[in-house]
Structure 1
Amino acid sequence: MRALSSFLLLTIVPAAFAVKSQDFKTCAQAAFCRRGRALSARAQESQAWKSPYSVDPSSVAVSPEQASFVAAVKSSLYPNIKFSLDVRVHDDGVVRVRMDEVDGLRKRYDEAASWALTAEPTISPDVKWAVSKKDVRATYGAKNDIEVVVSYDPLTVILYRGGKAQVVLNGRGLLHMEHFRTKATGEEKAPVDAPADDSQVVMQVNNRAWFEGEEEDGFWEEKFGSWTDSKPKGPESLSIDINFPNHGHVYGIPQHATRLDLPTTTGENAHFSDPYRLYNADVFEYLADSPMSLYGSIPFMHAHSAESTVAIFNAVGSETWIDVGHPSATSTETHWISESGILDVFIMPGPTPADVFAQYTRLTGTPALPAHWALAYHQCRWNYISSDDVRDVQRRFDAEDMPVDVFWLDIEYAEEHKYFIWDKKTFPDPVDMMHDVEAIGRKMVVIIDPHLKRTDDYPVYKEAKELGVLVKSPGGENNYEGWCWSGSSAWIDFFNPSSWDWWKSLFITEQGDKWSWTESTVDTYIWNDMNEPSIFNGPEISMPRDNVHHGGWEHRDIHNINGVLLHNLTSQALMSRTDPPRRPFVLTRSFYAGSQRFGAMWTGDNLGTWEHMAVGVKMVLVNNIGGFSFAGSDVGGFFGNPEPEMLVRWYGVGIFSPFFRAHAHIDTKRREPYLLDEPYKSILRSLLRLRYSLLPVWYTAFRETSVTGLPVLRPHWVVFPKDEGGFSLDDQYFLGSSGLLVKPITDKGVTETSIYLPEDQVYYDYYSYEAYRGASKGKNVTVPAALDRVPFLVRGGSIVPTRERPRRSSMLMKRDPFTLRVALDTSGAAAGELYLDDGETFSHRDGKFIWRKFVASKQHKDLRIKSVDLAAQRPGEAVDGVALSNYNGANDFAKDIATVRVERVVVFGLSTKPKSVQVGGKELYWEYTPGVASDTKKQGTASVLVIKDPGVGVSSDWEIAVQV
């Protein structure tokens, strides 16, 4: 839900606006970005340019454990300013490079990594360090083929693999840590450090002016619109060039609305004139192709080539701008400019995409394993206006036999937008309403925003004020007052530890000594919106940068981290409501590295246009490779009234998004799926049922990402990292390891589409079993794309478990039987996985789950299809971060679902009609349909063997023998 650009418009919500670009800065309007880009331009113009930063060789010290080294860094332009350098190698090969100012006038913000990392990384004991007069070298890796070289003069850090440079820090000499200084008064100039003689004075002053610019550009004060940023600490920005000399593609740095393969921002053929901006902001009706900042920021970038994948995570919490350029087709240069903070860069050496995801999520955590119901369909709008309205929506879904699991309430449920407090005129019986929703296993999600109405009759605000946990105005003495939905508002400072237990106590549903949300239930979950933070009368619709947080840090230092704290603490609050705890569900709009540990995100206030539908697919993909898999876009678009065709296509996008929610603005027409005319209503019913039938696939994929960090949605370069034909694809993707290849339709009037197949393998149409054959160098095939289907294929070699019984909610499917789709590859084999647990608690951490592998293999001419206990085969692995050593195949959950059976096995691609199909010597009932010869467009229709009711349990070992 979206903030208006002026608090004067609190009650006037127009049906449609265009993005107000003037509300948000460009690089040219941000002084520190201007300074950083100007430095880059001057360096590019001068062939003789050399970075002024160098390592003092006499200060180099390698630790006794040979794990890291530290050194002093100096600047030739400011010889009296001291810096420290710390380079260390983690036990998984990640290299961490930290640089900070030493004994400065003030301390630089150095806590960004502590909010993102799950723990302090372990240093490798197996690194060989070599110190020479010109550099320090660290060699490591299983083949001793990785080398980190820190050169002294100028300071550069280069990661090599096999002698080839992978990542280069300060290779172009753009490193600049603006040191703290004293503001000159009147005509007085800032003091210059005195060198040895007059000639050096002139040279140094000239060089310094050349390096930092002729003028003090926005050092001490900066205006934007009607706002003035006082900048009491003066200039403190950080610039660093990070280059990938042998990688021609870069991805990541969510969140931006643009292509997956990041377009250039520099050079004559730049796609964008501005750098990519990371500054969490409430951008109203954002553009569908732009480097503008949006709601979240993850400073994590992949660099990829056919030879290897590497990545960097730049742990900074302040506003950051990133230029991307390609000096050649096979190399990439990037320039990172941040407003404040220290240099704290993690270099991930890969060399495969899977290695990079493992390395990154070992730092910031894997996505949480969500509750099973959270992967089903969510129905929302701003706003369901009353208890009876909610009940009526539920009744209509049931009457039309459409599945749904979650109903949402936006801000209008709260009296005067005082969150937690129900408006009893419209919601007189909130607990009864929630119990009505919960009767068949459904849930509710209610919005809780971070702004508090400033009135003492609001207990949440009153207690926060008394605890002293509100954000302060500049100077740090008074509580900050801004405007948001509540009118005059205050903001909780979640960086203050005193707020943590208090916030969690608010969600207790039982009556206690202190105020808590007793008019709620443990099946009520939370939506955290507006947490960038969004402030209607603030600069760039956000908080003034000179506001003060706990510890004396200014808002500029922690802005991009701000949203994750609310998400984290709300997640903890929901877990603390019950004993034992249940898995929480918290949706966030603002996010940072590590947010994936706490819940889901969505791409904010999109438009109901074809362009926004298409870019939403790309944005969700980028969030997935950014470590945050539980992502989605508002189905139908938040703004506008999509025509039926567009709405149907948007549901086709939604059913293949990890987070699947329909949402709409208060001024839009009601567009719940049961309101459409035929045939659209029936198509939506079928699409919803398809999502529900595939829930086992989604849940198994989330188990995998919770363990390995591999994304739920995978672009082609992740699955086929050596296939250059797929490096820039971002309109089709794979769903986990399931073998499902999806190509949502995001254009009007489409009846067929092209899908790229990256290998010489057979792919089967999920609906019709038509078979398409790829090629060793990649091949495009044409597939049907009628309005009533989403084009998606099953890769040969996959076994896909589904549940086909139509139900009203996912909770009612818990004991439903399974269908196994066995898609044989060109060699006649296939495999797939199924993971199940109770879907709500953390009992899986105690070994209460099943994890099966289904395998189809040829034995002579016959086919064997069997089920094996995968958890028992992999005792060294983990589920949701917990080792499988305590796993027992006869655990309580496995016993509880022992009667759940496989009701059907469908095999496609079997070349010969079987003579018999048996389990344990018992003949089964089966039907065989032979394939149809190919035509000019496709490989032909595959043969289909349907085995009905084989009498096997989903949690037990078994084998089906197909004799041919």
Structure 2
Amino acid sequence: MAVVWRLLELALVLSVCLTPALSVDRSNFKTCDQSSFCRRQRKLETGPSQYRALLGSAKLTADKLEIQLINDKTKVSLLLEVFGLHGNMTRIKINELKPLKPRYEVPDVLVGTPTPENLQVSGQDDNTLELSLGGGVNKLLVTGSPFRLDILSGQDLVLSVNSRGLLYFEHLRARKDTLSAKVSSAVGNMWHKVKNLFSSDSEKTDAASESDSEIPGEEEVVKEEENKKEEEDEPGMWEETFKTHTDSKPNGPSSLGLDFSLPGFEHVYGIPEHADNLRLRTTESTDPYRLYNLDVFQYELYNTMALYGAVPLLLAHNIHRTLGIFWLNAAETWVDISSNTAGKTLFGTMLQYMQGGGETPQTDVHWMSESGIIDVFLLLGPSPSDVFKQYASLTGTQALPPYFSLGYHQCRWNYNDEEDVRSVDAGFDEHDIPYDFIWLDIEHADGKRYFTWDANKFPTPRNMLDGLKEKRRKMVAIVDPHIKIDGGYRIHSEIRSRNYYVKTKDGSDYEGWCWPGSAAYPDFTNPDMRAWWSSMFSYDHYEGSTENLFVWNDMNEPSVFNGPEVTMHKDAVHWGEWEHRDVHNIYGLYVHQATAEGLIHRSGGKERPFVLTRAFFAGSQRYGAVWTGDNAAEWGHLKISIPMCLSLGLVGISFCGADVGGFFKNPEPELLLRWYQAGAYQPFFRAHAHLDTPRREPWLHGETNTDLIRTVLRERYTLLPYWYTLFYNAHRDAEPVMRPLWVEFPTDVSIFAMDDQYMLGSALLVHPVTEANAREVEIYLPGAGEVWYDVRSYQSYKAPQKFYLPVTISSIPVYQRGGSIIPRKDRPRRSSECMQTDPFTLYVALDLQGEAQGELYLDDGHSFNYQQNEFLYRQFNYSHGQLTSSSLDLHGKFETPAWLERVVIIGASKPNTISLRLSDGTETQLEFEYDSQTSVLTVRKPGVNISSDFTMSLR
């Protein structure tokens, strides 16, 4: 009978997961009120903090300040540590002074120990301690009672911590009934002592022989119990049930929360992943934003529900400053955002630092996590690029992807067999459409046993992969982190024999339902497990794999179909005896890391990996790409893909994209075409579709649509040199590839909430058409005193300017910024690798002063040899009628036969002659054409190698 019930349960689970729903079943996922710790944290009222800082306990060393905090209600002490960090950052840690057991501190996210910067006491009175930060530029004020922190830059109050009194740290403690037993035992022992005074030696009890020092006093225990009684009486603190699942909470309540006030800030961003606008909303009347990696298929739009990934970094921006708050905690986290007016500070010594007498706008942010410690980094900017660099110094930059991964990816669930793969591949050639990758979903494996192939459908995978390789194309196969429980499956047997699975609270291997049926879950928090997993990608272990097979990690939230909220039980146990509640949001990062390192190791450390992940955390940018999950073929999902990727770019994850066409449902031809047009201008460009949808290959929607899709795919390929250069800048300097307008124009208040258009690097402004039957779109071109050019018509627009642009079905509004130079390859071929040695064209868009600058980064596109200086990094500069090419990094040495085919100068006057002079003094005259209607000058066949220094002179 038990087997029957398991089969019925599996059938129910699969029916839910395989059938596209009209919308997500929100009842499967908790609200804040259904999450007991969020409910407890959120019910706190603003006001004076219940904590005091004991300033007399302050200890200042070269790199940190330590102060004890005490809760006046519970008398429990905390330890506050404040670190001044190099690069205008401050770190704040708060932990229990003497916890019953260690609390989880997130490992492996920081790329190293942050460089400390000396703290110095610069002032003190009875209730305030003043420290200098950043070489004296910033000041940190510690107020004793009530406890709060304030950071000032010069005379400006930048940020306050605990000014609303919402610091709330649930200390680890024994359960109430355990304390009652202690009281009874203490009273009993005392009674025995009294009795023994009046008894003979033979009548004395065993208790009298115990050491008094080992027995708690009755008064001490009773007082402890009274102090904690109110906290322990709330439901959900020691056990919590959601639907049919009960969380045992063996360590009891352990949540923590802290508030941050941002005077002068009205716009905040970040904390992905949510299907919401770029600018974060206030949450007074809604649930807080939730950070808890979950498998939410066909998610709803414009709400604060958790999705597949979580990056606990929030950014704030105004015309004067950008700052960030990085909350390093991997447990379930909720973020409340409110907006009010900043009042005066609470103590007299602050008055001199205020900006005047008036009230200023203010945003308040309240972070709440279920477990762990408070470990928060304050990134003080002051510019957007400063914040990006500060965060990258902590968690790393975007991995430099292989060049070919920036091309087009063709995917669906599932390409049926080897013949299907060959047919689709041939279709691209037949219709002269470029692509780089074809993808295989879960059906390619033998019974969804990952690292295997279905012998009937894919009997000769190496032959299939070799066929793609001959055309310089690649494949991606899915490898998910749930392992089919099957004694004949080598992967399962090895993981079990090595004891690498996540455990239940009772110590057995944790099992759940996922695509293979009954599955177990590797414990990726264990470094030995990650190393073993990485070794499985070697060619001798992953049979049938070759160097042009890459990997996709799905379902790594982790997804457990029959688990609470479709994920793992929080009381499951990981390596180091940590509960799943402590590590949940970092699990997906570990899967991504182990897979990426596996692809590196299989090449002997020579080749860059490409791995796509659905779940992610802070630091995931170091390992590859992310997509926005199981979206739907709806106009709203197309539109929301823009702010979702912009939000990811702001927190360091530049390699982002959405499933083109929508994963669920069937897009009408107009929607599909508009999605291709939008996707071509997003960093990760993949079409994907659900098993139940009709086929969507680009040539299946009529000749007209095929022509339009071909055109937009070719546009993508011509811009690959620019995309690759942007990714190099992201890798080197943490600059987002796809960025909000305010990053480039930080003082233009009108664009602070704009997310229907965006910048690619600093040179291209893109406004995809995301409305059905659109006849026009509203364009805004920012930048006082600047000029923009339509990349197709070359029409110029002086900025700032807002206008309505008429659009047709073929329109993709894209504008090149005056003052920029963009390298392109205008000969698109069947794949990016086929274009490797093709010539370049430079598109020089002059600003109103007749000047322009641009860059080109180039290497072999696939190996780590660039780390040994095998690269080119060129700068192009146009000024006073001369275009020069020079090296931006003289250490770079890379040979390429690629040459400069054309130079297109937009906004130019007609010259009499054009000459080209090389570094050896050789000078030649060049042919050119000039279009007086568009003011475009085209210089043909300069013929110089793209790596050469040269000067092109217009006279």
* Aligned equivalents of 1:188, 1:68: Cα separation in 2: 40
Q: Which residue is equivalent to 2:805?
A: 783
* Aligned equivalents of 2:524, 2:910: Cα separation in 1: 66
Distance change (3 Å), C-alpha of 1:201 and 1:395: closer
Q: What whole-Å deviation, never above 9, does each CA across 1:168-223 have from its counterpart, x for those lacking one?
A: 1111000010011221239969999xxxxxxx9999999988xx669413111111
Q: Which residue is equivalent to 1:845?
A: 867
* Aligned equivalents of 1:189, 1:306: Cα separation in 2: 60
SS at match of 2:706: helix
Q: Which runs of 5+ in 2 are unaligned?
A: 1-7, 185-219, 342-359, 918-922
Would you say 1:317 and 2:330 are equivalent positions?
A: yes
Deviation at 1:518, TM superposition (A): 2.4
* Aligned equivalents of 2:496, 2:227: Cα separation in 1: 51
Would you say 1:726 and 2:726 are equivalent positions?
A: no
Question: Does the Cα contact within 8 Å between 2:179 and 2:225 map onto a contact in 1?
Answer: no
Q: Which residue is equivalent to 2:48?
A: 50
Q: What whole-Å deviation, never above 9, does each CA across 1:125-171 have from its counterpart, x for those lacking one?
A: 475555554233221336x3311122222221221112222121111
Deviation at 1:31, TM superposition (A): 0.4
* 1:502 equivalent among 532, 535, 542: 532
SS at match of 1:953: coil
Question: Does the Cα contact within 8 Å between 2:86 and 2:134 map onto a contact in 1?
Answer: no
Q: Which residue is equivalent to 1:917?
A: 914
Q: Which residue is equivalent to 1:482?
A: 512
SS at match of 1:853: strand
Q: Which residue is equivalent to 2:12?
A: 8
- Counterpart of 1:136, as a letter, is L
Distance change (3 Å), C-alpha of 1:204 and 1:413: closer
Deviation at 1:727, TM superposition (A): 0.5
Deviation at 1:69, TM superposition (A): 1.1
* 1:701 equivalent among 716, 726, 750: 726
SS at match of 1:674: coil
Question: Does the Cα contact within 8 Å between 2:13 and 2:561 map onto a contact in 1?
Answer: no
Q: Which residue is equivalent to 2:899?
A: 901
Q: Which residue is equivalent to 2:200?
A: none
* Aligned equivalents of 2:765, 2:677: Cα separation in 1: 14
Q: What whole-Å deviation, never above 9, does each CA across 1:75-130 have from its counterpart, x for those lacking one?
A: 11122x221111011111210000111222222112x1x22100011111475555
Would you say 1:355 and 2:386 are equivalent positions?
A: yes
Would you say 1:652 and 2:677 are equivalent positions?
A: yes
Question: Does the Cα contact within 8 Å between 2:10 and 2:517 map onto a contact in 1?
Answer: no
- Counterpart of 1:594, as a letter, is G
* 1:520 equivalent among 534, 545, 555: 545
Would you say 1:492 and 2:519 are equivalent positions?
A: no
Q: Which residue is equivalent to 2:932?
A: 930
Deviation at 1:754, TM superposition (A): 1.6
- TM-score scaled by length of structure 1: 0.90
- TM-score scaled by length of structure 2: 0.90
* Aligned equivalents of 1:57, 1:645: Cα separation in 2: 66
Q: Which residue is equivalent to 1:303?
A: 316
Deviation at 1:11, TM superposition (A): 6.4
- Counterpart of 2:437, as a letter, is V
Distance change (3 Å), C-alpha of 1:140 and 1:108: closer
Deviation at 1:951, TM superposition (A): 2.1
Identity of matched residues, %: 44
Deviation at 1:695, TM superposition (A): 0.3
Would you say 1:259 and 2:271 are equivalent positions?
A: no
Question: Does the Cα contact within 8 Å between 1:7 and 1:484 map onto a contact in 2?
Answer: no
SS at match of 1:616: helix
Question: Does the Cα contact within 8 Å between 1:285 and 1:605 map onto a contact in 2?
Answer: yes
Q: Which residue is equivalent to 1:451?
A: 482
- Counterpart of 2:538, as a letter, is I
Superposition map of 1:158-557 within 5 A: 158-185=150-177, 215-266=233-284, 270=285, 273-328=286-341, 330-475=361-506, 477-510=507-540, 516-557=541-582
Q: What whole-Å deviation, never above 9, does each CA across 1:240-262 have from its counterpart, x for those lacking one?
A: 11121121110000000001010
* Aligned equivalents of 1:727, 1:914: Cα separation in 2: 41
- Counterpart of 2:502, as a letter, is V
* 1:945 equivalent among 937, 942, 951: 937
Question: Does the Cα contact within 8 Å between 1:402 and 1:685 map onto a contact in 2?
Answer: yes
Question: Does the Cα contact within 8 Å between 1:762 and 1:772 map onto a contact in 2?
Answer: yes
* Aligned equivalents of 1:214, 1:923: Cα separation in 2: 86
* 2:663 equivalent among 613, 638, 643: 638
Would you say 1:135 and 2:128 are equivalent positions?
A: yes
Deviation at 1:552, TM superposition (A): 0.8
* Aligned equivalents of 2:53, 2:303: Cα separation in 1: 39
Would you say 1:825 and 2:847 are equivalent positions?
A: yes
SS at match of 1:671: coil
Deviation at 1:442, TM superposition (A): 0.9
Distance change (3 Å), C-alpha of 1:794 and 1:128: farther
CA RMSD of aligned residues (A): 2.2
Question: Does the Cα contact within 8 Å between 2:844 and 2:904 map onto a contact in 1?
Answer: yes
Q: Which residue is equivalent to 2:633?
A: 608
SS at match of 2:746: coil
Q: Which residue is equivalent to 2:100?
A: 105
* Aligned equivalents of 1:24, 1:930: Cα separation in 2: 62
Question: Does the Cα contact within 8 Å between 1:7 and 1:487 map onto a contact in 2?
Answer: no
Deviation at 1:846, TM superposition (A): 0.8
Superposition map of 1:584-623 within 5 A: 584-623=609-648
Question: Does the Cα contact within 8 Å between 2:335 and 2:365 map onto a contact in 1?
Answer: yes
* Aligned equivalents of 1:462, 1:25: Cα separation in 2: 35
Question: Does the Cα contact within 8 Å between 2:268 and 2:315 map onto a contact in 1?
Answer: yes
* 2:594 equivalent among 557, 566, 569: 569
Q: Which runs of 5+ in 1 are unaligned?
A: 193-199, 511-515, 873-886, 932-941
Distance change (3 Å), C-alpha of 1:24 and 1:15: closer
Deviation at 1:650, TM superposition (A): 0.2
Distance change (3 Å), C-alpha of 1:709 and 1:127: farther
Distance change (3 Å), C-alpha of 1:190 and 1:324: farther
Question: Does the Cα contact within 8 Å between 1:693 and 1:802 map onto a contact in 2?
Answer: yes
Q: Which residue is equivalent to 2:57?
A: 59
SS at match of 2:943: strand
Deviation at 1:9, TM superposition (A): 4.0
Would you say 1:745 and 2:769 are equivalent positions?
A: yes
* Aligned equivalents of 1:15, 1:278: Cα separation in 2: 25
- Counterpart of 1:486, as a letter, is P
Larger-gyration structure (1/2): 2
Q: What whole-Å deviation, never above 9, does each CA across 1:698-739 have from its counterpart, x for those lacking one?
A: 0000000101111101101111111111110111111113x1
Question: Does the Cα contact within 8 Å between 1:799 and 1:822 map onto a contact in 2?
Answer: yes
Superposition map of 1:74-153 within 5 A: 74-79=70-75, 81-110=76-105, 112=106, 114-125=107-118, 130=123, 132-141=125-134, 144-153=136-145
Question: Does the Cα contact within 8 Å between 1:772 and 1:781 map onto a contact in 2?
Answer: no
SS at match of 2:941: strand
SS at match of 1:584: coil
* Aligned equivalents of 1:140, 1:84: Cα separation in 2: 20
Question: Does the Cα contact within 8 Å between 2:822 and 2:843 map onto a contact in 1?
Answer: yes
Deviation at 1:916, TM superposition (A): 1.2
* Aligned equivalents of 2:98, 2:324: Cα separation in 1: 32
Q: What whole-Å deviation, never above 9, does each CA across 1:495-528 have from its counterpart, x for those lacking one?
A: 1222122111111103xxxxx1122112211100
Question: Does the Cα contact within 8 Å between 1:480 and 1:547 map onto a contact in 2?
Answer: yes
Q: Which residue is equivalent to 2:201?
A: none
SS at match of 1:527: strand
Question: Does the Cα contact within 8 Å between 2:179 and 2:221 map onto a contact in 1?
Answer: no
Deviation at 1:591, TM superposition (A): 0.3
Deviation at 1:857, TM superposition (A): 0.6
Question: Does the Cα contact within 8 Å between 2:176 and 2:232 map onto a contact in 1?
Answer: no
Distance change (3 Å), C-alpha of 1:305 and 1:201: farther
SS at match of 2:743: helix
Q: What whole-Å deviation, never above 9, does each CA across 1:798-834 have from its counterpart, x for those lacking one?
A: 1111001020000000110011111000011011100
Q: Which residue is equivalent to 1:713?
A: 738
